[in-house]
Structure 1
């Protein structure tokens, strides 16, 4: 049997079962391309139904470069040819698999399979971060990938060099069972035309549940594996709601993730006869009923809800500016919700009605993580919540071999241990272990538990991270085990220890991959020696959801610190700052050295960088950057960080190990005392108030004392302020917000009351920092009758 005959049989079998097949053409690249043409001709796949993903050009098919494979997300093709000879990445493989329709073929062009793992490729260059080089990069990911190709049903392998078939991939499946016909629920509010657009009974049930969004106070959560039609269900419902005159705001990590929503919404609106002329903007659908479906990036969507008005945002894909309307959305639909952080998801709970759509297993994210991390907040909200699960694939039959292979090869279905196996884990029952990539590769269950816990805990874990875990020379894994099961995991990245020549290039603005903290401290904060000490950055830390709040994460960090003490100079972390995370890291000995002055485009958060020194050189590094952060804090908080969450500011400053001596002049003390105890004015010396406020938050005696500010208020010292007073100090004094805005935000009845409250808040600071100062004593005595 030759390639043509094999391709014909694979396609025939796939069509009969409504499944997909994988044809691997291994060997010389040109020979593989020629064989792919032969195979597709024999399989009778039309040229306009084929896409090739390749770094080469000149094909008769639609072509995308490997770094643009994401353009296939949400699309279906009769066949996809993936050229893995150049610029191959696990992400690209994950993106193309889902685009193959039932009855179709994925054609994978590879080097000879026996040699492929050892070949050095484009992706390996990205793993060879300084001071490591290409020879240090492992070959384990591709070795494991080749093993799955040789073992898995539905995978055919042809050696194009010897023109032999190593595996035919034929499974002789049963004929496909037709989908259960969709039908509208009893007493459906949407018209019959809407339900005619559904392809499965599952999808019709989901659209029926989404009818609840016609009324405020409802939330619907739709979960599904990839390819089950959840985005299509969102689009069908969005079109039906817009046809009723609703303003539907759709958001997703990128517009391409939500494109199917708009395709389906437009089709529904057209079929109902409500489409209004909207020009060429694919991100906005107008209806003659006055409704619309519109896209905004997550951060812009939150801004729109907060402002009560519309922000027409193009999500950062092309940078276009939009127009603005005054009306706010009636419904918000969040597609690929698992790919957004909890803080951002929580902001959507201010919408009148909201739908969350999330992938349970697949390239876009981990729905289980969404459930664990966000569902408690949703359950505590005032929404009436409806849950829907789509289980029936739309584009191919259940049990499709290609889907099962992709889940295994890329660990898209990796999960931590089931709750019952770890539920009784305690600090005394766990064991600290270091696992090498060889350990993980040799134990599939261990690998799945480690990677599954990382996927569960972090919204950005993707297939490329599996390759990094197995092959990147700068990464290390540390875990806590309970009865042999993973309950907590830390992924660490070695950074720093760079030679002088590299440090100089970094200082001059050249990016050095894999060294995030040294890069920030060197290129942004102008410290040419920052990349000399060696450290480990905590890339991820995750604890099993069944055993959270038992101190296991802190135990893991403590054990890691003891292991690396004397071996490296520092431990560090960089992350989107929230009060809770800042408190966690502070409690574990990490101190703030930087807060970014721009927000993350996806999370909308400012990023904190924190260090925990382990040696004298690490301590010197941390101390000087803590001091420099303290010295610039007043300037950045009143300028680029004016809009930072005051609780983030409080927690960031509290975690700064650099106490301040406010050093006020006699004149400044008179102004501050007069404003606190008498008729003086804050505007007469705002700088003095800022230095006092900074001293209060960071620990203020000029020695090594603890900050007066703690997680929720203060530590009970004589300088204790309430949470509201601390927020007042941040908003008005440190961030220089307008009085009327501060008064409104903090619920003061008037600006006058807000001003008086600020004076009262400064009294304990005056007493603590200036109590022995003669000027303070004399000035305060003038107002003794008032206190």
Structure 2
């Protein structure tokens, strides 16, 4: 069989079944690139429907660089060539494989498959974070990738010699023809408008599948009227929330776009959000199509479409959209699983909302949506309407290339089923190191471990699988019950940087994979911040069936105990001393409490918000050695010293409960023994406690006392009083704004409550002179 006949047979079979086929061309880079062009020609695929992702630039059709595979998201092509010679990332595979339409070819170029795992490319360089080099990257992901290519149906594999001179060349050896002899594709059932449809019939006729039409039907609930559809799971008074779930390529975003266009045509204001603007392109495209088709389009721009009815479809970034700017009539959150739960919860309080999310796919695999956000939604007053799309639009169900991609990238990885870990308790689990070699040798263990890590973060990418298997700075710890993963932590080694590297970072150069040392050195101006060695908890997750049972805390304790052994030399730390454990995350009150309860202390709050979550990041440390303690001590002290400045500046609008929890988690040793207030300062504080004088007469005194007690908690203030101190003293908000934000009866009552909060501060921290002056008021 020649390359010509193989390509033609693959294309013919793919067309007959409305499926895709993959063609792997392994060998010399130039030879495989030439063979790819010839194969596409032999398969009679139109050049205008082909795209290459490659470092080479001599393709006869559209091409993009290796880092530009995002250009294919939301697009379909008859053939996509992914050139893996110079760089092949799992993300690129995930993005490109989904862009091939039914009847098309996915062409993967690679070095000789037996050698591929041992070669290093540009993607490996991204995994080689200091102090490691690219030679430390293991290549385990590619070893597993090659195994899936060789084992999976629908994947043809050819070895291409360096003397390749055309599609009939004997330099091509077909190792596997990839042919499956499938049944012909069944005709797709044409969707019809439901009998009780409110949207126009043409909206339903624009749907590609019956599944998609059903999704549009349920999205009619966004009209906010008394739309009574069968999918609602409870009868509450709150506005509806429609949850649209689908694997990639099922048309969920298209359904949302059709509904958005119909709503805008009725004169409704539809706010759309997604992790990035390009991710919402499909929604805008389908909405635009419907408005153009009905002569309803009035104006069109990048971020908004206006209908002649006065309705519109507009975009806002997730943190901005959560504030519901302009009071929209309906909200559509696309790729909801790729957003943090804390942000999604803010949409539950607004108008009718649709949460559209990919179940298994590149765009967002965060299972926290299923496990955590679903619980919040169920407890709300919303009428929740669930709809799932199963039928693929671009190709037939059962497409072997989709199955291969799911397996190769673990897009459908899941934790163990509940029954297998339901009896896991701190007394019944084992603490284990999950090495890449062990994970590769046990597919079930790999799927469970990765599935639980997916649960730990709102956005997990295929690249994370390669990091787990190949990155030399990462290591994995778990608690298992009879071999099943109940809790897991992914740790990243940081610090231990050379003096030369630390100096470059101090001068402004970024250092990859070293979050805490980078912040300490470049932002907080600590020249020695990257010298101690730390392990940062990148992800930690406990199976939802045994959450709140103490397993997460036990796992952190076991990690600490391991790395404290032998003077801080853990079993997986290459024999070097480990000085501290650290963590960085989007700060919420509950998370701050969790980490503080496990012995981690606040050393930094970022002054900027994360673009996706809208949260400020907290950095916390748990020292293990004297060097780690010294590092933590000075950054705790510096954090306390700069808190007044940043809380009245970039953190002036930060949630007071986040401020309270962050300060309560600061090491007590960061607080000076003596408040350092003078006689007049105490007189002003005592007078304020008795309803006289003004906070503005000595603001620094109140700031010192508020900081002291929010860290130490010795005065026994209740949470309401602490919030008052945060907003008025530390964030310097106006009295009226404080009263309104804290739901006080009036500004006068808020000022009186402030005086009441000052009394225990005087009792606890006041000098003898202060207490004597208090007698003046008695």
Tell me the TM-score range normalised by the shorter chain. Answer: over 0.9
Question: 2:292 is matched with which residue?
Answer: 270
CA distance in 2, matches of 1:148, 1:585: 40
Aligned to 1:131, the other structure's residue is in SS state coil
Aligned to 1:114, the other structure's residue is in SS state helix
Question: 2:657 is matched with which residue?
Answer: 647
Query: Can you list the C-alpha shifts for 1:609-647, whole angstroms capped at 9, x where unaligned?
Result: 100001111111111111111111111111111111111
Counterpart among 631, 635, 639 of residue 629 in structure 1: 639
Q: CA deviation at 1:36?
A: 1.3
Residues 575-586 of structure 1: matches in 2 within 5 Å? Answer: 575-586=585-596
Question: 2:400 is matched with which residue?
Answer: 401
Question: 2:671 is matched with which residue?
Answer: 659
Counterpart among 199, 204, 207 of residue 195 in structure 1: 204
Aligned to 2:618, the other structure's residue is in SS state strand
- Asked if 1:696 is matched to 2:706, the reply is no
Q: CA deviation at 1:286?
A: 0.8
Question: 1:172 is matched with which residue?
Answer: 181
- Asked if 1:779 is matched to 2:778, the reply is no
Aligned to 1:641, the other structure's residue is in SS state coil
8 Å contact kept, 1:193–1:271: no
CA distance in 1, matches of 2:723, 2:93: 48
CA distance in 2, matches of 1:762, 1:452: 50
Aligned to 1:510, the other structure's residue is in SS state coil
Question: 2:85 is matched with which residue?
Answer: 85
Question: 1:436 is matched with which residue?
Answer: 435
Question: 2:537 is matched with which residue?
Answer: 538
Q: Which runs of 4+ in 1 moved over 6 A?
A: none
Counterpart among 747, 752, 756 of residue 751 in structure 1: 747
8 Å contact kept, 2:224–2:352: yes
Question: 1:672 is matched with which residue?
Answer: 685
Question: 1:389 is matched with which residue?
Answer: 388
8 Å contact kept, 2:22–2:107: yes
CA distance in 1, matches of 2:472, 2:493: 9
Aligned to 2:146, the other structure's residue is in SS state helix
CA distance in 1, matches of 2:290, 2:427: 58
8 Å contact kept, 1:597–1:640: yes
Of the structure 1 ranges 185-194 and 166-175, higher mean CA displacement relative to structure 2 is found in: 185-194
Query: Can you list the C-alpha shifts for 1:86-124, whole angstroms capped at 9, x where unaligned?
Result: 122111111001100011111111111112111111011
Q: CA deviation at 1:781?
A: 1.3
8 Å contact kept, 1:262–1:282: no
Aligned to 1:118, the other structure's residue is in SS state coil
Aligned to 1:392, the other structure's residue is in SS state coil
Q: CA deviation at 1:367?
A: 6.1
- Asked if 1:300 is matched to 2:313, the reply is no
CA distance in 1, matches of 2:726, 2:285: 46
- Asked if 1:142 is matched to 2:164, the reply is no
Residues 207-218 of structure 1: matches in 2 within 5 Å? Answer: 207-215=216-224, 217-218=239-240
CA distance in 2, matches of 1:571, 1:223: 38
CA distance in 1, matches of 2:52, 2:113: 20
Counterpart among 686, 695, 717 of residue 721 in structure 1: 717
Q: CA deviation at 1:19?
A: 0.4
Question: 1:31 is matched with which residue?
Answer: 31
Residues 402-481 of structure 1: matches in 2 within 5 Å? Answer: 402-481=401-480
Question: 1:735 is matched with which residue?
Answer: 731
CA distance in 1, matches of 2:732, 2:366: 41
How many residue pairs get aligned? The number is: 742
Query: Can you list the C-alpha shifts for 1:290-339, whole angstroms capped at 9, x where unaligned?
Result: 10111111012123x1xxx43xxxxxxxxxxxxxxxxx211010000000
CA distance in 1, matches of 2:194, 2:561: 61
Question: 1:498 is matched with which residue?
Answer: 497
8 Å contact kept, 1:423–1:547: yes
Q: CA deviation at 1:85?
A: 1.1
CA distance in 2, matches of 1:662, 1:645: 26
Query: Can you list the C-alpha shifts for 1:718-757, whole angstroms capped at 9, x where unaligned?
Result: x222222111111111011122111111112322222121
Aligned to 1:169, the other structure's residue is in SS state coil
CA distance in 1, matches of 2:65, 2:737: 49
- Asked if 1:157 is matched to 2:167, the reply is no
CA distance in 2, matches of 1:135, 1:55: 22
Counterpart among 560, 573, 593 of residue 583 in structure 2: 573
Aligned to 2:693, the other structure's residue is in SS state coil
Unaligned runs of 5+ in 2: 162-170, 226-238, 570-577
CA distance in 1, matches of 2:174, 2:317: 48
Q: CA deviation at 1:13?
A: 0.3
Aligned to 2:541, the other structure's residue is in SS state strand
Counterpart among 186, 195, 211 of residue 186 in structure 1: 195
CA distance in 1, matches of 2:519, 2:81: 40
TM-score if structure 1 supplies the norm length? 0.93
8 Å contact kept, 1:200–1:394: yes
Q: CA deviation at 1:236?
A: 0.7
8 Å contact kept, 1:223–1:367: no
CA distance in 2, matches of 1:134, 1:30: 24
Q: CA deviation at 1:366?
A: 2.2
TM-score if structure 2 supplies the norm length? 0.94
Q: CA deviation at 1:778?
A: 2.8
- Asked if 1:547 is matched to 2:546, the reply is yes
CA distance in 1, matches of 2:340, 2:29: 41
CA distance in 2, matches of 1:210, 1:296: 20
CA distance in 1, matches of 2:367, 2:53: 31
CA distance in 2, matches of 1:777, 1:485: 61
